[in-house]
């Protein structure tokens, strides 16, 4: 219960999901949320298993989450799902369509890379 967010901590913020195998409760999310608090952004971790991935990614466009950042374990699979030429680091809603941030290689994302990706979102 200690890591559970209160409604007032979420209301009015743009939610950014960080999706991977073992994301929930990562200290890096807490650190980044402190840096992003004044920008109206909130990072949440979403743990995904391999057998849940197709369901998860097929619902991105209809999700309340506006931005999804993919950890290295799902970047190639996300690229394949959307039939992109490069690995998918981030999918975000731009007006009513999904836009993408890609990379030639799969990337292990640290806090600096995550902040860089967030800074590139239009």
Residue 4, pLDDT > 70, answer no
For residue 91, what are the β-bridge partners?
68, 100
From residue 104, alpha-carbon distances to 53, 68, 101 in Å are 21, 18, 11
Q: Which two tokens stand for residue 10?
A: 């979420």
| Dist CA 27 CA 58 (whole Å) | 28
Whole-number pLDDT of residue 101: 97
* 14-72 per-position pLDDT tens digit: 889 999 998 866 778 888 988 888 888 989 999 999 999 999 999 998 888 899 999 99
Domains belonging to the chain, first-starting first, are: 7-120 (3.40.50.10860)
Whole-number average pLDDT of the chain: 87
Of 96, 91, 65, nearest in space to 78 by CA = 91
Q: What percent of the chain has pLDDT over 90?
A: 57
Q: What is the pTM of this model?
A: 0.87
Candidates 45, 10, 14, 18; CA nearest to 114 is 18
Q: Is 63 helix (H, G, I), strand (E, B) or coil?
A: coil
């Amino acid at each position: 219960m200690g890591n559970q967010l209160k409604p007032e901590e979420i209301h009015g913020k743009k939610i950014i999901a960080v999706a991977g195998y073992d994301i929930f409760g990562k200290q890096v999310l807490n650190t980044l949320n402190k840096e992003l608090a004044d920008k109206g952004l909130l990072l949440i971790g979403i743990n995904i298993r391999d057998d849940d991935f197709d369901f998860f990614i097929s619902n991105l466009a209809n999700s309340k989450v506006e931005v999804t950042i993919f950890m290295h374990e799902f970047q190639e699979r996300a690229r394949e799902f959307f039939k992109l030429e490069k690995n998918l680091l981030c999918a975000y809603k731009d007006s009513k369509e999904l836009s993408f941030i890609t990379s030639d290689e799969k990337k292990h994302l640290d806090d600096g890379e995550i902040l860089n990706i967030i800074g590139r979102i239009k």
